[in-house]
Amino acid sequence: MTSSDPIPSDMPDFGIKHLTAEDLAARDPGWDAANFGADTALCPSSLDEVKTIVEYCAKTATPIVTQGGRTGLAGGAASGIGQVVVMMQGMNTIREIDARTQVAVVDAGVTLAQLEYAITPLGLTVGIDLAARGSCTIGGMVATNAGGVEAFRNGVMRQRVLGVEAVLPDGTVLSDLKKVIKANEGYDVKQLLIGSEGTLGIITGVVLKLEKATGNRKTVLASTKSAGATLAYFNRLSDAFGGRLLSAEIMWHDYFATTCKELGIKRGLGLTKGETYMIADVEVLQSDDKLLNVLAQSLEADEILDAVLGKNEKESQQIWQVREDSFLIDTAFPGGCWFDISIPLGQLDVFVRDSTARIHAIDPDLRVFVMGHIGDGNLHYTIAKEDAPIPHLYGDIATALYTGLNAIGGSFSAEHGIGTEKRASLEKFADPGKLALMRGLKAAIDPQNIMNPGKVLRAQSTDAKG
Ligand SMILES: Cc1cc2nc3c(=O)[nH]c(=O)nc-3n(C[C@H](O)[C@H](O)[C@H](O)COP(=O)(O)OP(=O)(O)OC[C@H]3O[C@@H](n4cnc5c(N)ncnc54)[C@H](O)[C@@H]3O)c2cc1C
C-alpha cells in the first residue's frame, strides 16, 4: 500500500472509522498538529479488537500509528495519509487493584490521572508524575518510558512496569502480565516494548508497581546563586528527609522570570534574585520545624539565598505553576527549539555554562531557557529568539548542545523519546553497535515495517530528515 492509496472499504469497523477532517478537527490533536495527518482512525475497546485491527493491517501491509493521549513531545504519534491511527483511549478499564501488594493491572488507554484518582482512597500513588497527567495514557507512558518529577526516587517507567500485554506486528498476543519483581525467564521482552514508541507493537495492558501515598506535603521554593549551590541544597534536603523528599526541580533565572511574568506573578514571588531556583516537595510529619531548620542550615552554608514556603494548597500550586507551565516560554517566544538531555549531576554548572556559550556562538541573540529534574540530572532546554522563529537552527543547536555529552556519560534524549524529532541525533550520537542491533530487532519483529514506520529509526527506503 502506498501513501496515496485510499483505505480499503473492507477494513473492520470498531466504532470510529474513516474519520472525516471535521471529525478529527473536533478532537484534540494534542501537542503536534501532525498527529492527525492520517484520514482513518480506529478506536478499539478490547484486546480482541486490537488484534483484529493488527491482523488486518499485517495482511494488507497497512502502516499503524498508535496514539494514547497525544501528549508526546518527540513527534512519535504523528500520522500521514495511508496510515491507520489506532486510538487507545477507548480501552480504559482499570482491570485490578491489589492494595495489599501495591499492584495495579490496567488497560493501556487508562490515563495517569484516572489511575491516581482510583488508588488515592486506598492510600496509594502511581509513583510517577508529570504535568500531562490529565491526558497521557499508561500505554503511552510505557511506550515512551516516561520519567517525570518523581523519577529520582521511584525510577522511570522501566522500573515501574512489572508486566505487559501487547499485540505484535503479525497479530500475535504477548501476554506477560507478571505481578512480581523477580521473573528471570530468558530475555526480558517487556523491556523491549518499554520505550519502543509504538514501533514494535501495540501495548494493550500494563501491570504497574504502586507506592504508598505520602502525607502532609510542603512545597518550598528557594533561590540559589548557582547550580552547584542548588545541588548542595538538594543533597542536604535528601540527607535530612530521605524518601520523604518527594520532588526537586531546578530552573535557571531566565526560565523562572519569564514564566513568572507570563503568569502575572510580581517580583518573582518576593524571592531574592538567584542564578537558579529549586522547587522541592517534602513530606512533613508533625510540624514544619525540621524543614525550617534545614532551610536555616542551607542559608548559613550559603547554598540558598532565600526561600518561600507554600502556606496552603493554593500557594503551593502557584509555585508549581511556575515550573509546570513550560508552554509559557513558547507563548512569550514562539518558534523556539526544545531539547531534553541528561547530565551527570556533578557536571551541571559547567555543562550549562559551556553549552550556553556554544549556543551563543551560533547567534548571540538566542535566549536559553533551562529547567528540569535536578534529582536525576534531566534538563529541558528551550532555545528561542525574540520575534523570530528558529526551526532552521535546530540542527546547529542540537550539535552545540549534545557535544561532549557522551564523553561525560550523559544522554541527548532523557525522557521524551526519539519519535521523528531526534532520529538524526540518534544516528549521529548513538553507539553504532547499538544502532545496528536496534535495526536488526526492528526488522526481526516487524519485517513489513507496519508499526509506526519512520519513528525512532528512519524507514530504510526513505531519506526523510530526522
Ligand atoms: C505538559 C507536558 C509535560 C510532560 N512532562 C513529562 C515529564 O515530566 N516526563 C516525561 O517523561 N514526559 C513528559 N511529557 C511527555 C510524555 O512523553 C507524555 O506525556 C506521555 O508519556 C505520552 O503519553 P501519551 O498517552 O500522550 O502518548 P502519545 O503522545 O499518544 O504517544 C507517544 C508515543 O507512544 C506511542 N504509543 C502511545 N500509546 C501506545 C500504546 N498503547 N502502545 C504502543 N505505543 C503507544 C505513540 O505511537 C507515540 O510514539 C510531557 C508532555 C506534556 C505535554
For the record, the C-alpha cell of 401 comes out as 548542545
Domain spanning 21-90, CATH architecture: 2-Layer Sandwich (3.30)
Domain spanning 333-417, CATH architecture: 2-Layer Sandwich (3.30)
> What is the model's pLDDT at position 465?
34
Start-end of CATH 3.30.70.2190 domains in the chain: 217-327
Please report the atom of ligand 1 found closest to the CA of residue 157: 11
Please tell me if the CB atom of residue 367 comes closer than 6 angstroms to any atom of ligand 1.
Answer: no
Please give the Cα distance from 106 to 115 (Å, whole number). 8
State the amino acid at position 137 in one-letter form.
T
SS (H, E, C) 151-182: HHHHCCHHHHEEEEEEECCCCCEEEECCCCCC
Please tell me if the CB atom of residue 143 comes closer than 6 angstroms to any atom of ligand 1.
Answer: yes
- Pair 151, 29: CB distance under 8 Å: no
> What is the model's pLDDT at position 387?
83
The parts of the chain modelled with pLDDT lower than 70 are 1-25, 460-466
Start-end of CATH 3.30.70.2740 domains in the chain: 333-417
Atom 36, ligand 1: which residue's CA is nearest?
140
Start-end of CATH 3.30.43.10 domains in the chain: 21-90
Question: How many A from CA of 71 to the centre of ligand 1?
Answer: 5
Atom 32, ligand 1: which residue's CA is nearest?
72
Please tell me if the CB atom of residue 88 comes closer than 6 angstroms to any atom of ligand 1.
Answer: yes
pLDDT tens for 91-127 read: 999 999 999 999 999 999 999 999 999 999 999 999 9
Please tell me if the CB atom of residue 169 comes closer than 6 angstroms to any atom of ligand 1.
Answer: no
State the amino acid at position 429 in one-letter form.
F
- Pair 357, 363: CB distance under 8 Å: no
Please tell me if the CB atom of residue 71 comes closer than 6 angstroms to any atom of ligand 1.
Answer: yes
Please report the atom of ligand 1 found closest to the CA of residue 201: 43
Crossing angle of helices 289-300 and 227-241, in 10° steps, is 150
> What is the model's pLDDT at position 4?
42
> What is the model's pLDDT at position 1?
39
Please tell me if the CB atom of residue 198 comes closer than 6 angstroms to any atom of ligand 1.
Answer: yes
Rg, Å, the chain Cα set: 23
DSSP state of 130: -
Instruction: Tell me the best of 45, 71, 145, 373 to mutate to test the pocket of ligand 1, counting ligand atoms within 8 Å of each CB and taking the most.
Output: 71
Domain 94-212 has CATH 3.30.465.10: yes
- Pair 116, 125: CB distance under 8 Å: yes
Start-end of CATH 3.30.465.10 domains in the chain: 94-212
**Is the C-alpha dihedral spanning 441, 173, 202, 454 positive or negative?**
positive
Please tell me if the CB atom of residue 348 comes closer than 6 angstroms to any atom of ligand 1.
Answer: no
Instruction: Tell me the best of 91, 130, 249 to mutate to test the pocket of ligand 1, counting ligand atoms within 8 Å of each CB and taking the most.
Output: 130
Question: How many A from CA of 410 to the centre of ligand 1?
Answer: 22
Please tell me if the CB atom of residue 415 comes closer than 6 angstroms to any atom of ligand 1.
Answer: yes
Q: Look at strands 94-98 and 103-107 and give their pairing.
A: antiparallel
Please tell me if the CB atom of residue 72 comes closer than 6 angstroms to any atom of ligand 1.
Answer: yes
Please give the Cα distance from 309 to 116 (Å, whole number). 26
Please report the atom of ligand 1 found closest to the CA of residue 65: 47
pLDDT tens for 183-227 read: 999 999 999 999 999 999 999 999 999 999 988 899 999 999 999
> What is the model's pLDDT at position 463?
37
Question: In this structure, which topology does domain 217-327 adopt according to CATH?
Answer: Alpha-Beta Plaits (3.30.70)
